Amino acid sequence: MGDILGLIGRRLGLGLIILLVISVIIFFMVELLPGDIAQAVLGQGATEENLRALRKEMGLDQPAIVRYLEWLGGAVTLDFGNSIVTDERVTTLIGDRFMNTLFLASYAAVIAVPFAIILGVIVALLRNSIFDRVANVMTLTSISSPEFFLGYILILYFAVKWSMFPAISSLSEGMSFWALLERTFLPALTLVLVVTAHMMRMTRAAIINLLASPYIEMARLKGTPPWKVIVRHALPNAWAPIINVVALNLAYLITGVVLVEVVFVYPGIGQALVDAVSKRDFPVVQASCLIFAATFILLNLAADVGAILTNPRLRHPK
Amino acid sequence: MTKKSDPILIDKLADAARRGSISRRSFMHHSLAAGMTASAATGLWTRSANAQPRKGGTFKVGMHDGNSSDTHDPGTYVSRQQIYLAHQYRSYLTLIEPDGTLGPDLATDWSANEDASVWTFELNPNATFHSGKPVTSTDVVASLNHHRGDDSTSAAKALLTSVTNIETDGDNTVVVSLESGLADLPWLLTDYHLAIVPANEDGTANWQSGDGSGPYRIDDGEWGVSWKLSRHEGWHLEGAYFDKLEMLVLNDPNARQTALVTGDVDAVSLIDLKTSALLQRDPNIEVENVPSAAAITMPMFCDTAPYDDVNVRNALKLAMDRDEIIEKIAFGAATKGNDFHHSPAMPYWPEDIPQREYDPDQAKSLLKKAGHDSLSVNIHTADSVFSGAVDMCVLYSEQAKQAGIDVKVIREPNDGYYSDVWLKESFTAVSWGARPTPDVMYSLAYKSDADWNESRWQNERFNELLIQAKAELDNELRAEMYREMALLARNDGGTIIPMFNNFVYARRSNVMRGESLAASWELDGARAPSRWWFAG
């Protein structure tokens, strides 16, 4: 186990360096955008005079490197500063929204992960049957369509034609948990449809790959029923690639929901990020992007640890 | 229907229902006798009997154009979310009534000295902020000064440049002094930036708190997501019939329309023109199509050949089939232009000026008069000017062929169109936002020495009238001046105005509205929540 803790420590340290590099890249990308924040805030009515006044008020008269170092100084003490446009704390600005995104992602994950893995096992069992073909075609169709299109289709049937679920997922305070689940069902379902194919097909491929191994042959010759061969003998050895794919998809659920948020008007972090970029609001962009980056780093780490834990050969290296 | 219905009797019945002097039963009985079908009669009863506003309900509005980076600062109001919200929780000095006239908001009365250079505004003594504090002249001065001065960051600064001083005269009187006469000042004060907020001790404006004196107070909300408001009891004006108000940001056109169809919201601020015809088929939805003061213009340089000849300019104006352009480019949601930049949605609109129609034969004869057998011109445009800008020019080019004019459409890049093409090329297509009065519009783009005189038009009489009208306080004389100016622009000017774009928005049929809709913004001049009500 000591090895694993050491690995986690090393990877976390590496993660911090990656975050630092990312923050530099983001800062200078935002700097490279044409136009500036004062122009974006004042719009058409801007004159040279009040642009200058606003730039000064926002501290944009200082050189870029000074502004970055100031921000970095705050960030190492976990103070992400204030939004330049609204002068609100970045943490309050995106805190709630990030929780909303996290909720939607977990909602979708709780449905999608078991669904995809069970479906993967079943199609591996019934490989090359009609069921296998149909399941593959359906999931591949849903992953190949853009999310917003899937969202519109679901809205058309579930909200407009059958009136089963609300078309927009506006949240309000004091909503009961069940009301919340109902309100956010359609965006969650959209995300489920988008991520299922990848996980299901990886499960199927990993299991089928193992079915040619001698020990599976042995199990079969013993007279073990086919479902038991797969669940008891093949699946434990197939976990590593499956966990990797699941982790990637979980990261996608958090970072890739912008379009789904727009279609269902869900107040998540994606919308805040898009607005912040269009206004060149650097502290908000920076904080959102770092959250996304940290999500990827942590989930990748979790995938590696999971793969090691499920594989005795990796757990006890020679 | 087999019988022809009797329109006069039906009108009388509707009147009686409105006054409440007839029961539903006898109303139906008489309506059927007058030749209406049962369903039509039911509809008429509902409409007429609900004409009287009633209180109650939660009104939910879906609005477009909202960002999470918006703020309460009136000086940086730019998105529709800020503008709509401002008209609910804050007040202005004056407002535009549904019929297009100027009405009182916080100011009950206003008057000017003889040359309109000093204005006095009397405030409503009953007006209070949501915090309970009365609205006084100190608050008004602080709020207006927020947009003035060297370090002001307000986008409305240019609007108040001619103001030299704003001072209080007692608790309920504000005096505004100007460099020169400006009869339009009370109109300019309806501008959405000039919201009244409480003053700080030091005389600056306290916009941060979100306190206001509007018809609804903010209970809770988040920029770019949604706002919850409830009625401000004791609001100083008539209206605010809903108990609660919810304003949701629905930027996606599809989400907005779906929410309206499924009843998740009661009204939306903008609908997609391409699908508005489909939406109209839904019996639960009423689509409003309101003429606005925003315009599409096509200026030609009056000092550059061939446009220096008025006959050529008028031939080009006659060679346009505006009806076809409105039908195919604006999907019917526009008001026909008549080549003067004064829309029916602005005050002093001269209604007796004949509409210029498509007349290729007359255009041909005008060209002959100018000494041209045929004419070839280039029009410059870009996709970003407005949705359908390039298509409109191509359509115009086809129409002009009938008059023997060859219009070549030159498509310019979107980036930098207004800095590199507009005011530089001799014939362009331009989109103008709404301006509150003809004076503002003409001073901006038609005055001989204006920076944005896009057609380089010089007309002595027009400029003389413009300066006279600016300080003229007699409304009838003013209207007469604007009529003459409109005729001059139409018959001599260098700008073709194909159309004024409409505001197209929609509400559920159980939401009632007054007889007319204000044309200053979508949703009844952004004041639907204080003017509309739910049917019983």
- Look at residues B281, B215, B191 and name the one whose alpha carbon lies nearest to residue B531: B215
Nearest CA to A85 out of A105, A59, A106 is that of A59
CB-CB contact of B342 with B438 (8 Å): yes
Whether the CB-CB separation of A98 and A266 falls below 8 Å is answered with no
pLDDT tens for each residue of A228-271: 888 888 888 888 889 989 998 998 888 777 888 888 888 888 87
Sign of CA dihedral A180, A186, A187, A188: positive
Q: Which amino acid is at A230?
A: I
DSSP for A184-243 reads THHHHHHHHHHHHHHHHHHHHHHHHHHTTSHHHHHHHHHT--HHHIIIIIIHHHHHHHHH
- Taking the model in full, what pTM does it have? 0.80
Beta bridge partners of B63: B249
Local mean pLDDT, 10-residue blocks, chain B (536 residues) = 51 59 62 65 61 90 87 88 95 93 94 92 95 94 91 80 91 93 91 93 90 94 91 93 94 88 92 85 92 93 93 95 93 92 92 93 92 91 86 95 94 76 91 87 88 90 93 91 95 95 93 90 94 91
pLDDT higher at B29 or A181: A181
**Interface-testing mutation among A41, A55, A154, A186, with chain B (most B C-beta atoms within 10 A):** A41
Tokens standing for A242?
């499956």
Contacts of B78 in chain A (CB under 8 A): 41-45
Instruction: Select from 3.40.1010.10, 3.50.50.60, 3.40.50.880, 3.90.76.10 the CATH code of B91-188.
Output: 3.90.76.10
- Tokens standing for residue B309: 């000849």
Residue B1: predicted pLDDT: 36
The pLDDT assigned to B407 comes to: 95
Closest among B223, B353, B295, B310 to B492, alpha carbons compared: B310
Average pLDDT over residues A123-132: 90
pLDDT at B144: 95
ipTM value: 0.76
Q: Give me the residues of B, 419-458, that contact A with CB < 8 A.
A: 433
CB count in 10 Å sphere of residue B247: 26
User: Given pLDDT bands bounded at 50, 70 and 90, which one contains residue A2?
Assistant: low
Cβ-defined contact of A167 to B226 (cutoff 8 Å): no
pLDDT at A146 over 90: no
Q: Is B254 on the interface with A (CB under 8 A)?
A: yes
What does the pLDDT read at residue B108? Answer: 94
Question: Confidence class of residue A45 from pLDDT cuts 50, 70 and 90?
Answer: low
CA distance A156 to A28: 42
CB pair distance less than 8 Å for A265 and B151: no
Q: Which residue has the tokens 């044409």?
A: A34
How large is the average pLDDT for residues A28-55?
A: 70
Query: CB A262 to CB B71 under 8 A?
Result: no
CATH number of this structure's domain B58-64+214-290+506-534: 3.40.190.10
CATH topology identical between B58-64+214-290+506-534 and B295-501: no
How far is B110 from B123, CA to CA, in rounded Å?
9
Candidates B214, B188, B194, B181; CA nearest to B96 is B188
Report the residue of chain B nearest A281, measured CA to CA. Answer: B69
The two three-digit tokens of residue B268, written as one number: 């939306």
pLDDT value for B2: 37
Q: CB of A223 within 8 A of CB of A143? A: no
Cβ–Cβ < 8 Å for B382, B414? yes
Instruction: Give the DSSP letter of residue B205.
Output: B
The better pLDDT of the pair A82, B45 is held by A82
Of the candidates A44, A53, A159, which has its C-beta nearest B151's C-beta?
Answer: A53
State the first-to-last Cα distance of chain A, in angstroms, to the nearest integer: 14
Considering CB atoms only, which of B68, B152, B258 is closest to A159? B258
- Those residues whose C-beta lies under 8 Å from the C-beta of residue A219, and which sit 6 or more positions away, are A229, A233
The domain spans of chain B are 7-49, 58-64+214-290+506-534, 91-188, 295-501
Classified as helix, coil or strand, B47 is helix
Fold of domain B295-501: Dipeptide-binding Protein; domain 3 (3.10.105)
Burial of B161 (0-12, 13-18, 19+ CB in 10 A): exposed
Q: Given a cut of 90, is residue A175 above it in pLDDT? A: no
In Å, what is the CA distance from B104 to each residue of B107, B123, B137, B237, B425? 5, 9, 16, 9, 44
Probe site for chain A from B258, B272, B419 (most A CB atoms < 10 A): B258
Contact flag B150-A85 (C-beta cutoff 8 Å): no
Q: Above 80 in pLDDT, residue A99? A: yes
Q: What are the residues of chain A with a beta carbon less than 8 Å away from any beta carbon of chain B?
A: 41-47, 49-50, 53-54, 57, 83, 85-87, 93, 96, 152, 155, 159-160, 163, 166-168, 170, 172-173, 262-265, 267, 271-272, 275-276, 278-279, 281, 284
Q: Which residues of chain B are within 8 Å of residue A259 when distances are taken between CB atoms?
A: none
> Which residue, among A282, A255, A280, A281, has the nearest Cα to A270 in the 3D structure?
A255
